[in-house]
Amino acid sequence: MTKEIDLENIGTYIKALHCQIRWVLIDILRDGPKSSDEIYNHLKSVSENIDNNNQCHGMCGKGDFKNLQKPTLYYHLRELESVGIIKSDNKPSGGIGAPEKVWKLNMEKLTINLK
């Protein structure tokens, strides 16, 4: 899916894409759908600080995902989902408990119309 936006809507996307972790999440999902646990485990396995110069001082930290908590991961996934960059489906659980979310990219291209 290709999404075109005008300058009047760009602020929403800037807000959704301003954190380093969200770009990493998009990169992870480029290979195909992943469950929340798969994404979480991948981020936890990142052994080096991805970006020491990250300007975000909010919930995304400095690119060191070893101390990442699941609520923080879900926060970032929901922010990307809120603008339609990614979407989720529920994967039935194999037993007792809530179904697990499976995340995937929802668009291939985002185009900004400058005029």
pLDDT of residue 75: 95
Of 44, 36, 42, 83, the closest CA to residue 61 belongs to 44
Domain with 79, as residue range(s), is 2-113
Give dist(CA 6, CA 114) in Å, integer: 7
Predicted confidence (pLDDT) at residue 61 exceeds the cutoff of 80 = no
Predicted confidence (pLDDT) at residue 70 exceeds the cutoff of 60 = yes
Q: What is the CATH number of the domain that holds 12?
A: 1.10.10.10
Percentage of residues in the chain with pLDDT exceeding 70?
81
The total domain count for the chain is 1
